[in-house]
Structure 1
Amino acid sequence: MTSAKTVLVTGTSTGIGLAAAVAAAEAGLHVIATMRDTGRADALRAAAAEAGVTDLVQVKRLDVTDARSVATCVAEVVAEHGHLDAVVNNAGAGFVGTIERHDMERVREVMEVNFFGVVELTRAALPHLRASGGRVVTVTSVGGVVGQPFNEAYCAAKFAVEGFMESLAPVAASTGVQVAVVEPGAVSSEFVANVGLDVPTLLAEAGPYAPALRGYIDHAMEAFGSRPQTPREAAAPVVEALTAETVPFRIQTSDWARGFLAPKLADLDGSAVQGITRGWLA
């Protein structure tokens, strides 16, 4: 059993998840750092050792697309530590391509990781978070607010996550659980590499969409090349959402992200929508 607050973070082998796990441990939280393949934990362990927080970072296997894996991991955490105080839904997978040129199996894979995996873990964790007065923090994306060309499947999944969490937030709040979404923009992490962009093949397979795809790829590479945050910078608002006494529903990780979303979101922190929907439950 542990007295320190316990947070379960998904997708911690690289990028924002790795940085958030280490930073949360630096803030004094006991971190359950999960990943589908624990053989990829060396970078996380090295970063935890460098930060001097090895004792506060525990690696566990968790595949968010496998309901049994989710249930087992949550049960083990509660059995070992006596409580679960927060969940960070961070695991995700990118996908670039337009729907006409790809089969539905690929689209379903993107939804399984980015949306249904979030729902599955949140569902399993909620009874324990209710007991601890905890919180759910979910890393979404500016692509969960603004639909982007050649990202139909990815943005659809992130839109779904934002809608799910925005709808859940007032319900969870009625039982003492806070819900927040964290929206990064461009981040210099392995997430981009993990999308597996083979640009020549993508263009060859794009058919009539090739000129538009070429323009989008050039724009995206410029955005990731000239304005990216580091994973640690993007993870800082995640840790703040875990440690602040109260947290707004919607958090952007940078001025760039706020500027990108501003034309669509006049209510940047989500307080107006939450005020309305919470009133429906009074």
Structure 2
Amino acid sequence: MSTAKTNPVVLVTGGSAGLGRVIATTFASAGYRVAIVGRNQERLESARSAIGTTEQTLCCAADLTIEADAVRTIRQVGDHFGRLDVLVNCVGTSDRGAIENLTSERMIDLVEQNVCTTLHCSKAALPLLEESSGVIINIGSLAAKVGTRYLGGYCIAKHALAGMTQQMRLEWLSRGVHVGLINPGPIRRDDEGSRYQSKLDGNIPVEASRPGGGTKVKGLAADEVAAIVLDCVRRRRPDVILPRYLRLLITLGNLSPRLGDWLLLKFSSSK
């Protein structure tokens, strides 16, 4: 792999752990110079070692819900590498709970983490991405396409992200910047099934603690999703749903809301 200073540069937010780290590793293996953002410096350094291109990986500690931190981070990347070709917005958090128990405070927190972080970074990165005719990839979710049960405010936040992504894509097309959305189903992880145990209450079934709120969709491997992200950058694809077969089902559900509700109930094991 070439480490030339002319190699393209990718910035992965949330790159210190989970899917973000796998995405950063995938781009590094493809020849990109990599910048990763996270809140914890120790986790960032651990991720840099795991990515395997220590001398080519920039670690940026920041809280991207704060716009000034996002601006500082983009400036740091520009100063260090002299360019930016790809921004992958991977910061976000999921949720569990019945909608009747969702507070406005919790909903705002989810929007800040899943939507505002993307808005802050994308706006700040736009001038650099214009120079490179670059790409922004936002990591959405199947919850950006459907309003399934027991996901608290997560569906609300991801629907907002999907709408913002399309608006960005249309507005920034004339500026040479492509904006895409990746909507993966549940991603396999070591703590799946136990992450949300503490969020369960008498109003939602125990199955809701499982990935996807109890969906019957098979979990995706993180490296599979990361490979799709890289492919979407190369082909400038606008919107991808994973697993791919669900695109047809979601389309049918949009055409017929009654059918959509039936499909969501069928694909959920929650009672």
TM-score by length of 2: 0.83
Structure 1 or 2: more helix by fraction: 1
- Structure 2 spans left out of the alignment, 5+ residues: 256-271
- Paired residues for 1:1-282 under 5 Å: 2-41=5-44, 43-49=46-52, 53-189=53-189, 192=192, 196-199=195-198, 202-203=200-201, 206=202, 209-210=203-204, 213-214=205-206, 216-217=208-209, 220=212, 223=215, 227-242=218-233, 244=234, 246-255=235-244, 257-258=246-247, 261-264=250-253
Contact persistence 1:142–1:260 (CA under 8 A) = no
In 2: Cα distance, 1:45 partner to 1:219 partner: 28
CA 1:46/1:83 → structure 2, altered by over 3 Å: closer, same or farther? closer
1:41 counterpart SS class: helix
C-alpha deviation, 1:63, in angstroms: 1.6
- Structure 1 spans left out of the alignment, 5+ residues: 267-282
CA 1:130/1:264 → structure 2, altered by over 3 Å: closer, same or farther? farther
In 2: Cα distance, 1:75 partner to 1:10 partner: 14
Contact persistence 1:15–1:191 (CA under 8 A) = no
Contact persistence 1:183–1:257 (CA under 8 A) = no
CA deviation string 1:54-105 (max 9, x = no partner) = 3332221122101111111101111121111111000111111123324322
Q: RMSD value over aligned CA atoms?
A: 2.6
| Structure 1 runs (4+) greater than 4 angstroms displaced | 190-193, 217-224
% same residue:
25
In 1: Cα distance, 2:67 partner to 2:131 partner: 22
C-alpha deviation, 1:221, in angstroms: 6.7
Contact persistence 2:115–2:161 (CA under 8 A) = yes
C-alpha deviation, 1:166, in angstroms: 0.8
C-alpha deviation, 1:139, in angstroms: 0.6
CA deviation string 1:167-193 (max 9, x = no partner) = 121211111111110111111136857
Alignment partner, residue 274 of structure 1: none
CA 1:173/1:159 → structure 2, altered by over 3 Å: closer, same or farther? same
Contact persistence 2:36–2:44 (CA under 8 A) = no
CA 1:191/1:86 → structure 2, altered by over 3 Å: closer, same or farther? farther
Higher RCO (Cα < 8 Å, 6 or more apart) = 1
In 2: Cα distance, 1:150 partner to 1:108 partner: 17
2:15 counterpart SS class: coil
Q: Which amino acid aligns with 2:24?
A: A
In 2: Cα distance, 1:107 partner to 1:130 partner: 33
CA 1:236/1:253 → structure 2, altered by over 3 Å: closer, same or farther? farther
TM-score by length of 1: 0.80
CA 1:247/1:101 → structure 2, altered by over 3 Å: closer, same or farther? same
1:9 counterpart SS class: strand
CA 1:78/1:184 → structure 2, altered by over 3 Å: closer, same or farther? same
